[in-house]
C-alpha cells in the first residue's frame, strides 16, 4: 500500500486568480458561499496528476494584498497553520498548468483566494492513490456542490475513452458557476444539472432524486457501468444506497477527512473501512473486531464503495 510515486514540492506561480461569478448578479442569493479558481504553473504536478488526486497547499496568511473581501471580521492569529488539501480540478499537461477550485471557507482558503497573478504558492503534489480508476464502460459522474471540484478533470479524461454522463447538483442559482466548466466539456453524453431552488434550465431537486433515472440510462439494463461521486457525506451515502442495490455497478467515492501531513506519515486522516486483517472485504464486518482504517491522503481520497464502512463514516 506504500505510495511509491513521488510527489513534487516547490513554488508554483499563480497565473490566474478569479472569484467565480454565477449567473445571478452580485448580491443575489448565493447562500453566502464564495468560490474561487486558481490557475497555477506547476508542470511537474500537471504531468503526474491523475483525476482524484490532490495537492497540499501552503496558504498565505490573510491580510495580504486583496485579502480583505474574504477575511472574516474577527480572526484568531496563527491561522492558517497547516497546509490545505485541494483536489486537482483540472490539469493541462501541454501548458503545465493545474487548476484549483475551492469554496472560500475559512482562513486557509481565504488566504489562497487573496493570491494574485505572479504570486508563488508552496505546493506538494500530486498526492493520493491512483485516483479514480478509469474504466471503458459507460460512466456516470455525480457531484454535489464543491464536490464537483475533482470531477471536471475526471469527466474530461473519461470522455476520451467512452460514454460519460455528468449529474451535477448545486443548492441554488448562485452556485451554478460550479457547473459552467462542465458545459464547456466536449463529448459528454449528457449533462444533467439539478438545483434545490429550481433555477431555470435545471432539474429542481437534488442529484439523489435525479439519480435513479440516470442509473437507468447508464446502460441498457441499468445494471452495468461505473459511478464516480464526490460531495457532502449524506449525498455520498444516498448514492451508495442506490448503486449498491444494483449489482453490476461499481462506484468510486472521493471522501474528505482533516489532513495534517498529507503523505501517510502521521496517520491523522483515518476513515473506517470494512476489511478483514488481510485486507479483504469482510461484509458485514465482525462487530467484535477492532475497527479498520484507511488513510484518506495515502489510500484515498478515492475509495471503492464496497470498502467504505458506511455505518461508521
Partner 1 sequence: MNSGTLLPGPDLSVTVAGLRLRTPVMTASGAFGYGREYAGLLDLSGLGAIVVKGTSLEPWSGNPPPRTVETAAGLLNSIGLENPGVECFLENDLPWLSGLGVPIIVNVVGRTAAEYAALARRLDGAPGVSALEANISCPNVKEGGLAFGADPAVAGDLVTGMRRATRLPLIVKLTPNITDVAALARRVVEAGADAVSLINTLVGMAIDPEAGRPILARGTGGLSGPAVKPVALAMVYRVAAAVTVPVIGMGGIWTGRDAVEFLMAGASAVAVGTALFVDPEAPLRIAREIGDFMAGQGYGKVGEMVGLANTGFCGRRPESWADRPDQEGR
Ligand X SMILES: Cc1cc2nc3c(=O)[nH]c(=O)nc-3n(C[C@H](O)[C@H](O)[C@H](O)COP(=O)(O)O)c2cc1C
Question: Three-state SS string across the chain, please?
Answer: CCCCCCCEEEEEEEEEEEECCCCCCCCCCCCCCCEEEEEEECHHHHHHCCCCCEEEECCCCCCCCCCHHHCCCCCCCCCCCCCEEEECCEEECCCCEEEEEEECCCHHHHHHHCCCCCCEEEEEEEECCCCCCCCCCCEEEEEEHHHHCCHHHHHHHHHCCCCEEEEEEECCHHHHHHCHHHHCCCCCCEEEEEECCCCCCCEECCHHHHHHHHHHHHCCCCCCEEEEEECCHHHHHHHHHHHHCCCCEEEEEECCCCCCCCCCCCCCCEEEECCCCCCCCCCCCCCCCCCEEEEHHHHCCEEECCCECCCCC
d(CA 147, CA 305): 16
By the rule CB under 6 A, 51 interacts with ligand FAD:
no
By the rule CB under 6 A, 123 interacts with ligand FES:
no
By the rule CB under 6 A, 245 interacts with ligand FES:
no
Which residue in 266, 279, 283, 289 binds ligand X (CB under 6 A)? 266
By the rule CB under 6 A, 82 interacts with ligand FAD:
yes
Which part of the chain contacts partner 1 (CB under 8 A), choosing from 35-43, 76-84, 130-138, 208-216? 76-84
* Residue 63 CB neighbours (<10 A): 12
For the CB of residue 118, give the shortest distance to partner 1 in the complex, in Å. Answer: 23
By the rule CB under 6 A, 258 interacts with ligand FAD:
yes
Which part of the chain contacts ligand FES (CB under 6 A), choosing from 44-52, 194-202, 212-220, 292-300? 292-300
* CB of 269 closer than 8 Å to CB of 297: yes
Q: Which is nearer to partner 1, 82 or 203 (CB)?
A: 82
Q: Which is nearer to partner 1, 84 or 156 (CB)?
A: 84
- When CB distances are held under 5 to 8 angstroms depending on the partner's kind, the choice from ligand FAD, partner 1, ligand FES, none that residue 272 binds is partner 1
By the rule CB under 6 A, 86 interacts with ligand FES:
no
Place of cell 457501468: 225
For residue 219, which phi and psi values (nearest 5 degrees)?
-145, 165
For the CB of residue 281, give the shortest distance to ligand X in the complex, in Å. Answer: 28
Which part of the chain contacts ligand FES (CB under 6 A), choosing from 59-67, 87-95, 255-263, 272-280? 255-263
Which residue in 20, 127, 151, 269 binds ligand FES (CB under 6 A)? 269
Which residue in 133, 270, 306, 310 binds partner 1 (CB under 8 A)? 270
By the rule CB under 6 A, 297 interacts with ligand FES:
yes
For the CB of residue 242, give the shortest distance to ligand FES in the complex, in Å. Answer: 30
- When CB distances are held under 5 to 8 angstroms depending on the partner's kind, the choice from ligand FES, ligand X, ligand FAD, none that residue 146 binds is ligand FAD
By the rule CB under 6 A, 267 interacts with ligand FES:
yes
Cell for 151? Answer: 470531477
Interaction mask 97-136, ligand FAD, x per CB under 6 A: ----xxx-xxxxx---------------------------
The count of residues interacting with ligand FES (CB under 6 A) is: 13
Amino acid at each position: 500500500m506504500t505510495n511509491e510515486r513521488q510527489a513534487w514540492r516547490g513554488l508554483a506561480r499563480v497565473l490566474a486568480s478569479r472569484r467565480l461569478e454565477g449567473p445571478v448578479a452580485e448580491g443575489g442569493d448565493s447562500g453566502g458561499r464564495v468560490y474561487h479558481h486558481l490557475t497555477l504553473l506547476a508542470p511537474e504536478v500537471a504531468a503526474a496528476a491523475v483525476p482524484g488526486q490532490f495537492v497540499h497547499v501552503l496558504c498565505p496568511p490573510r491580510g495580504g494584498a486583496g485579502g480583505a473581501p474574504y477575511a472574516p471580521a474577527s480572526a484568531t492569529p496563527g491561522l492558517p497553520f497547516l497546509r490545505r488539501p485541494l483536489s486537482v480540478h483540472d490539469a493541462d499537461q501541454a501548458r503545465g498548468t493545474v487548476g484549483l477550485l475551492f469554496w472560500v471557507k475559512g482562513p486557509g482558503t481565504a488566504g489562497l483566494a487573496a493570491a494574485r497573478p505572479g504570486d508563488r504558492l508552496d505546493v506538494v503534489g500530486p498526492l493520493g492513490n491512483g485516483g479514480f480508476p478509469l474504466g471503458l464502460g459507460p460512466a456516470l459522474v455525480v457531484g454535489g456542490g464543491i464536490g464537483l471540484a475533482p470531477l471536471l478533470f475526471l469527466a474530461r479524461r473519461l470522455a476520451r475513452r467512452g460514454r460519460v454522463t455528468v449529474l451535477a447538483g448545486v443548492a441554488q442559482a448562485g452556485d451554478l458557476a460550479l457547473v459552467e466548466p462542465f458545459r464547456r466539456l466536449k463529448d459528454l453524453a449528457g449533462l444533467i444539472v439539478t438545483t434545490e431552488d429550481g433555477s431555470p434550465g435545471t432539474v429542481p431537486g437534488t442529484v439523489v432524486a435525479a439519480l435513479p433515472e440516470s442509473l437507468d440510462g447508464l446502460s441498457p439494463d441499468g445494471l452495468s457501468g461505473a459511478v464516480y461521486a464526490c460531495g457532502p457525506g449524506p449525498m455520498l451515502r444516498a448514492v451508495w444506497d442506490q448503486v449498491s442495490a444494483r449489482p453490476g455497478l461499481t462506484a468510486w467515492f472521493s471522501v474528505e477527512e482533516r489532513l495534517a501531513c498529507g503523505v501517510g506519515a502521521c496517520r491523522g486522516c483515518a476513515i473506517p473501512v470494512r476489511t478483514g486483517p488481510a485486507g479483504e472485504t469482510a461484509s458485514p464486518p465482525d462487530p467484535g473486531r477492532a475497527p479498520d482504517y484507511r488513510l484518506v491522503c495515502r489510500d484515498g481520497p478515492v475509495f471503492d464503495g464496497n470498502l467504505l464502512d458506511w455505518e461508521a463514516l
